Copies of this chain bind each other. A is one copy, B any other.
Amino acid sequence: DKEVAICDDFYQNKVCGIIVSQAKDTKQYDHFEKLLQNGVLLIFYDRICTGVNCSRVVVDDYMGAFTAVTHMIDTGCKKIAFYGSPMNLEISKNRYNGYHDALLKHGLTENPDWVKICDDRANAEAITPDILIEEDRPDAFFAINDDTAIGILYTAKRMGFKVPEEISVCGFTNGDRAKACDPMLTTVEQRGVAVGEEAANILIGQVEGSIPRDEVEKRVVRTRLVVRGTTR
């Protein structure tokens, strides 16, 4: 609702373009369509809206996840859990697919009980004890963002597990939090600044005319895995 109100506001004020990441719970796209039909440029980033045909900048979520999970497998993990956002979000679907395919490629089978809809720390701290208390438990967790990974990390530590000897944890973002936690977090660096620059470049290009306004530009920013103390 807030997203709709803000879009209306932009429309009233005749901005020429907007760089936008959709809300996690957006399901209707009329407010975006209305802007587009009125000649406002929209550039999506991060949480892009596939229901609307416009320019977008994404990170290589699939490859980022694939690389991270492969790293955990290469360092001896065999039972890897996935914590992500609901699958209506592209980033969640793509990161899940990267996770899934990395397991597949290395001959590991996915345990559906260890694929969770969970994308914040509080939730991760709430659901992880039930998973780790079992005899048959994961030896690694790949989370859709650092915040969730930190929730898993501290829950595992609190329960007496050694990280990374017994439990590996990997996040996705590489924000300020990743280096503040103990041990420092292994994570997929999302390069938010590069994403912002690309989005701004498209917008400026379309406003100034060096990129046709009706062209749908799609750009991908590469991630890289930053290995720190929460994986072996």
Contact = CB atoms under 8 A, between A and B. Distances in A.
Interface of A: 146, 150, 154, 157, 175-182
A157 B183 CA distance: 12
A179 B146 CA distance: 12
A190 B177 CA distance: 18
Contacts of A157: 182
A97 B154 CA distance: 36
Nearest to A147: B180
A174 to B, nearest CB: 12
Contacts of A150: 180
Interface of A is mostly: helix
Contacts of A181: 180-182
A177 B178 CA distance: 8
Contact of A154 (B175, B176, B177, B182): B182
A150 B177 CA distance: 11
A182 B181 CA distance: 6
Contacts of A182: 154, 157, 181-182
A182 B183 CA distance: 9
A79 B175 CA distance: 34
Between A154, A157, A176, A180, the greatest number of chain B beta carbons within 10 A of the residue's beta carbon is seen for: A180
Between A154, A157, A175, A176, the greatest number of chain B beta carbons within 10 A of the residue's beta carbon is seen for: A176
A180 B181 CA distance: 5
Nearest to A158: B182
A49 to B, nearest CB: 26
A192 to B, nearest CB: 13
